[in-house]
Amino acid sequence: MFSKDVEVVNQVGLYARPATYFVQKANEYRSTVWVEKGERRVNAKSLLGILSLGITKGTDITILAEGSDEQEAVMALVELVSSNSEE
């Protein structure tokens, strides 16, 4: 298992369109991928799961993956949420 902590810097956090892009990116990988916020862990490939965390700008989250491409998956998702892109 590979994991990395990251701060969400997108203005709207992981809501609506940014959350959709996050889930689409997570689904590109074979590994099982999770997002943790506090004590909660959700499937990163589930839009409802991501939205249920209420991730806003400045929130620290942990992205975890387990599988054949776990490190690649985590690093790509970390890059996505740590960039200041509006989408």
The count of residues in the chain is: 87
Question: Would you place residue 87 in the very low, low, confident or very high pLDDT band (cuts 50, 70, 90)?
Answer: very low
Q: Is the pLDDT of residue 23 over 50?
A: yes
Query: What is the per-residue pLDDT across 29-82, written as a single tens digit (0 to 9) for each?
Result: 999 999 999 999 999 999 999 999 999 999 999 999 999 999 999 999 999 998
pTM of the model: 0.92
pLDDT of residue 84: 66
Q: Which of 56, 63, 66 is nearest to 4 (CA)?
A: 63
Tokens coding 58: 């400045």
| Assigned architecture for domain 2-82 | 2-Layer Sandwich (3.30)
